[in-house]
Chain A
Amino acid sequence: MNRKLPREELTPPERQATWSVRAKVGANEALTLARPADYGHDTSGRPAGPARRAGPWHWMRSHRRQVTLLAFVVPALTYVILFFVYPLIYGFMMSVERIGFIAQSGPYIGLHNYIVEINDPVTREALTNTAIFLVASLFFQFTIGFGIASYFSRRFFLSRFLRSLIIIPWLFPPIASGTIFAIMFAGQGGIIDETLQSLHLISSPIFWFDSSFKAMFVIIFVNIWIGIPFNAVLLYSGLQDIPDELREASALDGASAWQRFRYITVPLLRPVSLIVIMLGIIYTVKTFDLVVVLTNGGPDNGSQLMSTWAYTLAFQNFQTGQGAAVANMLFVFCMIVAFFYIRATRREVAVA
């Protein structure tokens, strides 16, 4: 068992194969890790080696590469299964069971929770609100972020300093930002209404939280404020990556500023924009803390989002199964976006 084997005997021939780097010919250079042809644990065509020996220890020694690979994969796999797959499955199980206050498993009721929630007017309101919140937030975050990015793409006095200040809203915890905005939007003594009144733009306070429309406006406004830096910073770096020569050359060719923007900047910024928008969708659709602090989904569910509605169902009404169903609907939506995100980033990498 413990007989020492010569080193060569232990070492499968593929060990000697080298990892080679092959450069593709053409405009796009991509690094491709060439795989040795006999990579794998197929030992046919080689003299019977120690792999044939019985016992796990010998197997491990003869399959050193596979064991190494496994050693790398297992921790990651364990982590993913423990912290992602298991909760996901558990969440799904909860959504097809009748579960209340105490989240132990209940009787299986199929898609009942989903059907109840789809037919619930509050869920529909939350769905509409989430859609409005998503589209409005993304549109303004992106356009304003792009404006700021273009503004800073030219160097001027203090531009670097100011650029670093732009990131601040992104650094604040949403709970803190939300609380401060709640105070600012207050009808009595809130700085926004007071300022508008002192400018004689309004005669009495607006009371931002007494209608669905205004409450939605407030949460969208604050979310845009929070999201601008993220968009601005990524788009700024995207703009920096566009070679100046391209713009200069097209200017020499007589392209107007609009044409340079339309035919140079926009197409070259496309990969970054896609990433920004898709990450934005995922960030925005799961916004929760901000809304809880500002409106708590009110008035009368008027600013309820899918995320806050799932929480309200599960942890305030203790209709845990239905809360899980709503959360899963949100999750499926995020998965679809994530799928397109991954596909888009892959394609962009391939194209770039």
Chain B
Amino acid sequence: MDSVRKEHPDTKLLELLVCPLTYAPLTYDAEKGELISEKARLAFPVRDGIPIMLVSEARQLEDKAPGSAG
């Protein structure tokens, strides 16, 4: 039996998951273990393979450098 804990959310789920504020798609930052909503500038944590899609738990991303492509 496969007893390995999933380190990242399943890709088939990622197809459905969107940002709860903007409904925009998310990208997964494997290094930080976060799901990034570019539009809302929020990073949602993933703990024990469970994405935590609560705005209250999300990390606010710093503003982009001026002039960078949006």
- Binding between chains A and B: no
Interface residue ranges, A against B (CB under 8 Å) = none
